[in-house]
Chains A and B, each alone.
Chain A
Amino acid sequence: MSPTDAPAGGPARASSTSPVVLTVRGLTKSFGDTAVLKGIDLEVRRGQVVAIIGPSGSGKTTVLRSLNSLEVPDGGTVTLSTGLELDFGSRPSKRDLLALRDRSSMVFQHFNLFPHLTVLQNVVEGPIRVQGRDPEEARREARDLLARVGLASRVDAWPVELSGGQQQRVGIVRALALRPELLLFDEPTSALDPELVGDVLGVVKELADEGWTMIVVTHELEFARRVADEVVFMDDGVVVERGAPAEVLNRPREPRTQQFLRRVLRPLDD
């Protein structure tokens, strides 16, 4: 599972000298008259875990989706480690959008497994059909990955036969199997029953420990505190505050951050 044997992988842990995987500058996006992103800056270094937190509607999922070309921003730039710069102000080409998508792969809130394919087929579809890897080797690797997330006995099951937690672990393995440079998690535990959250977060933490670069949009503040290198707090389409988890989560400077954390941590007060 370690990204070090993957071509785009990185060293065990991020530092400020690790190479930059992705730089985002001034990202803007509107849906109709509603501005959901109002100039987002973000930088991700190899091996870094960035947690994006914030209230619903703050634009955090849109940022993530933009990085996988599932949304196309209206303005701003994204610069990749390959040197490619996408300027959304001047409508990037389809090829460039695909090059951006190629750097990352996404784990969805609602898993989005392919219901007509078995667990194993879900995982190898990308490596075999898209990346053209050797089917035998891809299947072997997929079995290994599935075994490591505790699904060795479910490789031939249909998605509908799995619990939510199991489905999400398949979703994670499907993303990993593509050996992306960057993993994107869109509220990976929001659709799970509370007792299943731990399993999935455990897997994400393990990946972080192994040095995968990732951006995690999450409501799990405890997870962000323990796993993230940087916490980004977004509200109303802007980054309000960012920094080490201990700073942002324990000693937030901005009133909006303080208010959000109060609401999340003590929902029954005021």
Chain B
Amino acid sequence: MQSTLDLFLRSLWPIVSGALVATIPLALASFAIGIVVALVVALMRLSPTRWLRWPARFFVSVIRGTPLLVQLFVVFYGLPSIGVKLDPWPSAIIAFSLNVGGYGAEIIRAAIQSVPRGQWEAAHTIGMSRGQALRRIILPQAARVSVPPLSNTFISLVKDTSLASLILVTELFRQARQIATVSNEFMLLYLEAALVYWVVCLVLSSGQGVLEKRLDRHVAH
């Protein structure tokens, strides 16, 4: 018992530091880039031009229709065979942000479409162009609608970064696996990893409440 607790405590820092230097930065960077991708793809999906709509649909379909692990392997192990050799970190960020882009695009598209048509018309009647209406009137309202589902996507992403351990990124789960292999204490180390993921997600998702409150200021009084 004494040695179990001892091992737990001794392995806590390597695991937590894996979260701090890899899991969390990887998730934040991929999410930030992914949201930009998602917005662009969502707007393409809603474009009146078929040549923008069609590639966007194709992208979303591929991202959602293939496993994230396969996407990760294609970028890291596949691309070198056509001459594109990327380090683990850039590979992970590319794969994760494209993945967030695919799922986020559908969320943002639905959020934009949930804004009543009357809002577009009111924006147009005061003379706004489509772009202006989108920026000033529609997107601020769509943002509020998309926070809860995008938070889901973000939480999933945090956990999915564990897959990066398979392309040699030394993140939270890779640290736990290494200690588990050496100590032979698989149950302990994997539960410990689960615990740290859980705490990280708790902390990060508290941001959702803050964001919702901020975006709700015109509703709740």
On A, residues with C-beta under 8 Å from B are 68-70, 101-102, 105-106, 108, 110, 112-118, 125-126, 129-131, 158-161, 174-175, 178
Chain A contacts for B218, CB-based, 8 A: 115-118, 158-160
Chain B contacts for A118, CB-based, 8 A: 218
Closest beta carbon of chain B to A67's beta carbon, Å? 11
- CB of A130 within 8 A of CB of B122, answer no
Closest beta carbon of chain A to B93's beta carbon, Å? 32
On B, residues with C-beta under 8 Å from A are 116, 118-119, 121-128, 132, 136-137, 140-141, 144, 217-219, 221
Given contacts A110-B118, A114-B137, A130-B132, contact A105 B124 (CB under 8 A): no
- CB of B122 within 8 A of CB of A160, answer no
- CB of A178 within 8 A of CB of B219, answer no
Please list the 9 inter-chain residue pairs (A to B) with the smallest Cβ-Cβ separation, ordered nearest first: A126-B126, A112-B122, A130-B127, A112-B118, A158-B218, A106-B125, A116-B140, A116-B218, A105-B125
Alpha-carbon distance between A125 and B137 when the two chains are bound, in angstroms: 10
Closest beta carbon of chain A to B48's beta carbon, Å? 12
Chain B contacts for A108, CB-based, 8 A: 118, 121-122
Chain A's closest residue to B215 (CB) is A116
Closest beta carbon of chain B to A232's beta carbon, Å? 22
Alpha-carbon distance between A159 and B141 when the two chains are bound, in angstroms: 14
How many inter-chain residue pairs (CB < 8 Å) link A and B? 64
Partner of A125, one of B124, B136, B144, B219: B136
Chain A's closest residue to B221 (CB) is A161
Chain B contacts for A129, CB-based, 8 A: 128, 132, 136
Closest beta carbon of chain B to A216's beta carbon, Å? 16
Given contact pairs A129-B132, A131-B127, a sample of 8 additional A-B residue pairs in the complex whose CB atoms are under 8 Å apart: A105-B125, A106-B121, A108-B122, A115-B218, A158-B218, A158-B221, A178-B126, A178-B127
Closest beta carbon of chain A to B132's beta carbon, Å? 7
| Interface CB pairs A-B, < 8 A, 11 | A70-B121, A70-B125, A101-B124, A101-B125, A106-B125, A108-B121, A112-B118, A115-B141, A115-B218, A116-B144, A126-B126
Alpha-carbon distance between A105 and B136 when the two chains are bound, in angstroms: 19
Alpha-carbon distance between A101 and B116 when the two chains are bound, in angstroms: 21
Closest beta carbon of chain A to B194's beta carbon, Å? 40
Partner of A114, one of B119, B124, B132: B119
